[in-house]
């Protein structure tokens, strides 16, 4: 009877891969969900303005996420942990908070207001090859030819997505005569900021407790974004920031995207290999495009099909490189454990 109950519980146990794919589904759908929430706000105007503007989503959404993060990680903020942080740690934390907590999301959210969600999702794939290049340059990471070719292919796919868009009012002309969308350009710059912040985190901040990192980054990023938005848009821009209607939506948004998404991601990482996590992450653009279609009825354009196809080809090549590298490292580990193998 005991064995029967034990096997019954195991049959309903969620695997690490399931957590990983649930997290990826949440992350991939986040851009479409953000746009949908702003459309709901546009249907429920307060004083003639949208209470769920993109700036309010970022500002109030970060405040809600901060409240949730403090509830979860407040124990990490103790005297012992804080005394172990050097001036260099705080400096790098500040740079990361500015880049990934204020500049990158601000640019990407502004890009969402100017172009299709599919474009933002595909242009966001600029981040992995940039991060790879910076890791090789600054962190001396070892990569193989498959990963390099895959990164180059993904980069070309992003460029095709940006340059082959049909002309719209929110476009600027480049020196070569190509039409470049302002929204796509903002998303690209945001991806660069994210790549730099990732490399700084890997190089200097991995030893910092997750609670200190997450809370400081979210808090400082929110404050900096608020003052930048005041400077750029004026004080009236946040006039509905304390609307109960907005906060209800933002607590749901932050709870699902930040708490549930990150919790599933961490649980999945603890139970899965790095290669499995990398493979799952590669499906974010596919999920993002599918979510844009199902939630917003936004069908891909010809440029998005072409650029997305090249990006997927680059992702495939990169995964081949990761699998080969993992296989080589595993083989080397086994050989080292075996020791002398004879003639």
Choose among 65, 28, 52, 27: nearest CA to 221: 65
Each residue's pLDDT tens digit, 214-234: 899 989 999 999 998 888 777
DSSP 8-state secondary structure symbol assigned to residue 255:
I
With a cut of 50, say whether residue 333 has pLDDT above it. Answer: no
Q: What is the mean pLDDT of the chain?
A: 80
CA 65 to chain centre: 15
Most confident of 2-11, 79-88, 149-158: 79-88
On whether the CB atoms of residues 146 and 159 are closer than 8 A, the answer is: no
Q: What pLDDT score was predicted for residue 329? A: 55
Average pLDDT over residues 132-151: 81
CB–CB of 225/104 below 8 Å?
no
Mean local confidence (pLDDT), 69-86: 91
**In the prediction, which pLDDT does 190 show?**
92
Residues comprising the chain, all counted: 343
Burial class, 329, CB count within 10 angstroms (exposed 0-12 / middle 13-18 / buried 19+): exposed
Nearest to 157 by CA among 263, 282, 67: 282
User: Which of 163, 139, 121, 161 lies closest to 282 in space, CA to CA?
Assistant: 121
Quick one: 327 exposed, middle or buried, by C-beta within 10 A (0-12, 13-18, 19+)?
A: exposed
Q: Read off the pTM.
A: 0.78
Compute the chain's Rg from CA coordinates.
Answer: 22
pLDDT in tens, 112-131: 888 888 888 888 888 878 88
Residue 323's pLDDT is: 77
pLDDT value for 279: 66
pLDDT at 4: 45
What are the backbone angles phi and psi of residue 286, rounded to the nearest 5°? -65, -45
- As a whole number, mean pLDDT of residues 35-43 equals 91
Answer yes or no: is pLDDT of 92 > 90: yes
Comparison of pLDDT for 1 and 21, the residue scoring more: 21
SS3 at position 168: coil
- Residue 9 backbone class (left: φ over 0; alpha: ψ -120 to 50; beta: rest): alpha
Express each pLDDT in 261-299 by its tens digit: 877 877 776 676 555 666 677 788 888 888 999 999 988
Q: What is the mean pLDDT of residues 87-97?
A: 95
């Amino acid at each position: 009877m005991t064995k029967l109950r034990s096997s019954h519980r195991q049959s309903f146990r969620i695997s690490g891969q399931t957590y990983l794919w649930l997290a990826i589904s949440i992350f991939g759908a986040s851009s479409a969900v953000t746009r949908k929430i702003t459309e709901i706000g546009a249907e429920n105007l307060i004083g003639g303005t949208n209470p769920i503007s993109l700036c309010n989503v970022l500002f109030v959404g970060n405040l809600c996420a901060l409240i949730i993060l403090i509830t979860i990680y407040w124990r990490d903020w103790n005297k012992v942990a804080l005394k172990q942080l050097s001036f260099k740690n705080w400096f790098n934390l500040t740079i990361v908070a500015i880049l990934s907590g204020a500049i990158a999301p601000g640019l990407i959210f502004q890009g969402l207001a100017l172009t299709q969600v599919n474009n933002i999702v595909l242009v966001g794939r600029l981040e992995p090859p940039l991060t790879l290049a910076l890791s090789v340059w600054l962190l001396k990471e070892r990569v193989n030819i498959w990963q390099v070719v895959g990164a180059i292919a993904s980069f070309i796919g992003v460029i095709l997505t940006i340059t082959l868009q049909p002309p719209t009012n929110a476009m600027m002309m480049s020196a070569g005569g190509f039409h470049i969308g302002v929204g796509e350009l903002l998303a690209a710059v945001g991806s660069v900021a994210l790549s730099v912040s990732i490399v700084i985190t890997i190089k200097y901040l991995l030893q910092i407790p997750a609670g200190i990192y997450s809370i400081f980054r979210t808090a400082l990023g929110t404050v900096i974004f608020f003052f930048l938005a005041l400077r750029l848009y004026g004080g009236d821009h946040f006039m509905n920031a304390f609307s109960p209607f907005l906060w209800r939506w933002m607590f749901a948004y932050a709870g699902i995207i930040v708490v549930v998404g990150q919790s599933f991601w961490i649980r999945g990482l603890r139970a899965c290999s790095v290669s499995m996590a990398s493979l799952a992450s590669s499906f974010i653009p596919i999920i993002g495009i599918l979510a844009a279609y199902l939630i917003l009825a936004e069908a891909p354009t010809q440029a998005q099909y072409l650029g997305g196809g090249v990006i997927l080809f680059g992702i495939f090549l990169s995964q081949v490189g990761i699998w080969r590298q993992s296989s080589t490292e595993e083989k080397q580990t086994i050989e080292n454990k075996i020791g002398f193998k004879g003639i």
